[in-house]
Amino acid sequence: MTQAPYETRTGHAGETQQIGGDPLTTNHGIPFSDNQNSLKAGARGPTLLEDFLLREKIFHFDHERIPERIVHARGSVAHGEFECTDPIPDLSRAKLFSKKGKKTPLIARFSTVAGGAGSVDTPRDVRGFAVKFYTEEGNWDLVGNNIPVFFIQDAIKFPDLIHAVKMEADRGYPQAASAHDTFWDFVSLMPETMHTLIWAMSDRAIPRSLRMMEGFGVHTFKLVNDQGREHFVKFHWRPRLGTQSLIWDESAKLQGADNDFHRRDLFEAIAAGDHPAWDLAVQVFDQELADSLPYDVLDATKIIPEEVVPLRVIGKMTLNRNPDNHFAENEQLAFLPSNVVPGIDFSDDPLLQGRLFSYLDTQKSRLGTTNFHQIPVNAPKCPYANMMRDGMMQTQVPKGRANYEPNSLDQAGEDPGPRAQAQGFATAPQQISGAKTRDRSESFGDAYSQPRMYWNSLTANEQAHTASAYVFELSKVSLPHVVERMLSRLSAIHPDLGRRVAEGLGLPPVKPAETKFPARNLGTSDALSIQKKWPATLKGRRVGLLFAEGSDKASIDKLKAEIEAEGGTLFTIAPKVGPLKLKGGEMKADGQLAGSPSVLFDAIAMIMMPDQADKLMKDAACIAWVSDAFAHLKAIGHCPGTKRILDKAGIEPDEGIGPNEGLAERAKHRYWDREPGLRDLA
């Protein structure tokens, strides 16, 4: 019998899945002989209630779905491992950080926030970046995002934020989009959202690939060593492929070209053995440094710039195995920020404190049982034991009489069950005093200084993208008072930002919003810009090649070899997939032109005889193919026969455009300088 992927599944005969060439059975193991026809009274007669095979199959199907996550419903998962590269026993007693080379298995899930499980992959949205480490001391879930700050400071505002951004309550739209009245109404009333908003309006919210996103733990956590010494810590994931983004028009068109653009990209890369990797880095600091900062480290709407507390890389995550089953390993995967291992602890960040409740609670609603920890993907890979018993879908069979602790059953020679261990997790002791109150600390009050620092840290091109994103989103807002209030907040962040967005909307400038805490100048941080760190590489990138009957096979092979030598992949496209007759051989295209628009690629090339190019130029899809690539600032390669297609599309040559020779080098870049000439950005 084929082995099911999880040991626990094969633990009881009743749980064993039969697949492959094995006999088909009911869920109760009864083999049956016909899976095509229901039991009827005569071949054309009515179906009989007696048909337990039909009833069981339809009954199971009727109940296949579980509630999707209230946020982060759409996600992609991959298995992998964490390797400790720089142990930190001086800072934390967590065993996964104890030895160089120590490996810990893990699963990662990347998600969009606002859309439903079946929504698109490339909307403008924050991305979830959640990792479950199956450590030898239990599961540690680092449930972060690809943006290092969050919209709100206190968990009590989370339901309001999510209600405002999700589809509107009466009309049920828009799906997976923040460009609508209720979102901007809410955020414009909540100055604390300004920092995350400016990140969300920047290119950070339209990542090129899940493999090319930074990740952040967002909150300040604590590391505790075995002497009980504490440090504050912020966790960062840095992609080995570099951080890369799409541009807005491209991400919008991708929603039509491939709803699953990100999920497919991750799955295909791993399947091809191109395993994405991230460095795990920490920013470690103590109370004294925290006290010296002009913002509060317990406020999740603030970052600590890398220039103030540098990043120290302590390990590497590699994703090396695709899920076997989407439902079992993605839908049923349950993250809990409350899962920390000895050596890691929480800070008093009020957002984090609220999360500690919410995730445990939501899993009961989604997975239907308090025993969701027994689902294979959620179960720790180390032994676990306690006196929690029973409940819906209990699949374990605890032995003995001891279901309470303490007990003295061992004195009667019986198994007394587990006991608390001195070296187990112990909350770091902390003196607390204060009146019971619903106040918010004044130290959380400054809503504008860090958004200003972010704005000032972007390149001119990134600023234009960000201002244009505000213009786009606010152009979809039908309530003028909301637009005006939002403009006043943008002017409070930076007068240029407020003015540019107002101009982009065709409105007069609006005075800065009044605030007790006007923006201070915190300087700039280059680490905040994507473009300043953009890697010149073909690794993980795809070049689309358009060819047709009669193209020169040797030229295609040469280009393919050049692209692959730089770590990229070549995807071939033709008007018909073929196999097509070429000069020097035959070839089947990977895709058809009509279904493979150039948004799917990081750069494009064309190899064709002039007569074929003349024919293809009459196809609107061909002209759109090159003009979109040009508008999306991509490198373009052509041969003597295909230059005419660029001319027909009205493409002015620049340094990104040239013969196929040299494309492998040019394709490592995006051509930001091209943009002002072809797009009216704010």
Active site residues: 72, 145
Q: Which is nearer to ligand HDE, 16 or 175 (CB)?
A: 175
β-strands 277-285, 312-321 pairing: antiparallel
- Select 109 or 204, whichever has its Cβ closest to ligand HDE: 109
> Site residues (CB under 6 A) for ligand HDE?
69-72, 75, 109, 111, 128, 130, 143-145, 150, 155, 158, 218, 300, 333-335, 351, 354-355, 358-359, 362
Type of residue numbered 177: A
Would the annotation count 366 as a binding residue? yes
Nearest residue (beta carbon) to ligand HDE = 128
Letter string b/e over residues 72-96, b meaning 16 or more CB atoms within 10 A of that residue's CB:
bbbbbbbbbbbbbeebbeebbbbbb
User: Whole-angstrom Cα distance, residue 568 to residue 156?
Assistant: 46
Query: Which of residues 108 and 497 has its CB atom nearest to ligand HDE in the complex?
Result: 108
Q: For the sheet containing 542-547, what is the strand order?
A: 591-592, 569-574, 542-547, 603-607, 635-638, 657-659
User: Does residue 605 sit in helix, strand or coil?
Assistant: strand
In sequence order, what E strands does 256-399 have? 277-285, 312-321, 344-346
Rounded to a whole number of angstroms, the minimum distance from the CB of residue 347 to ligand HDE is 13
230 close to 222: Cβ distance less than 8 angstroms: yes
Measured between alpha carbons, how far is 343 from 95 in angstroms, rounded to an integer? 8
CB-CB contact of 292 with 518 (8 Å): no
DSSP state letters, 361-374: HHHHHHHSSGGGGG
State the minimum distance, in angstroms, from the CB of residue 329 to ligand HDE. Answer: 11
32 among annotated binding-site residues: no
**633 near 601, Cβ under 8 Å?**
no
* 69 annotated to bind ligand: yes
Q: How crowded is residue 266: how many other Cβ atoms within 10 Å of its Cβ?
A: 23
> How many angstroms separate the CA atoms of 673 and 682, rounded?
15
Nearer to ligand HDE, 132 or 634 (CB): 132
CA nearest to 426, candidates 84, 143, 137: 137
Q: How far is the CB of 205 from ligand HDE (least distance, A)?
A: 14
CA 250 to chain centre: 18
CB of 160 to ligand HDE, least distance (A): 11
Using DSSP, how many helices (H) and how many strands (E) does the chain show?
A: 18, 18
Q: By C-beta, is 204 or 253 nearer to ligand HDE?
A: 204
Min. distance of Cβ 151 from ligand HDE in angstroms? Answer: 8
Q: Nearer to ligand HDE by C-beta: 333 or 623? A: 333
Q: Is 74 annotated as a binding residue?
A: no
- Name residue 560's amino acid: K
Burial (CB < 10 A; 0-12, 13-18, 19+), residue 385, is exposed
- The CB-of-483 to ligand HDE minimum distance in angstroms stands at 27
Least Å from the CB of residue 488 to ligand HDE: 26
Nearer to ligand HDE, 354 or 509 (CB): 354
- Which token pair is 577? 């997939």
Name the residue nearer to ligand HDE (CB basis): 265 or 549: 265
120 touches 257 (CB < 8 A): no
Minimum separation from the CB atom of position 268 to ligand HDE (A): 21
Work out how close the CB of 50 gets to ligand HDE at its nearest, in angstroms, rounded to a whole number. Answer: 42
Q: How far apart, in whole angstroms, are the C-alpha atoms of residue 124 and residue 146?
A: 12
Q: Is the dihedral of CA 119, 122, 123, 128 positive or negative?
A: positive
Confirm or deny that 44 is annotated as ligand binding: no
C-alpha distances (whole Å) from 60 to each of 31, 52, 57 are 17, 12, 5
Residue 124 labelled as part of a binding site: no
DSSP-derived pairing of the beta strands 635-638 and 215-216:
unpaired
Name which of 69 and 316 has its Cβ closer to ligand HDE.
69
Contact call for residues 71 and 319 (beta carbons, < 8 A): no
| Residue 321 identity | R
Tell me the binding residues for heme. 69, 109, 158, 355, 359, 366
Tell me the binding residues. 69, 109, 158, 355, 359, 366
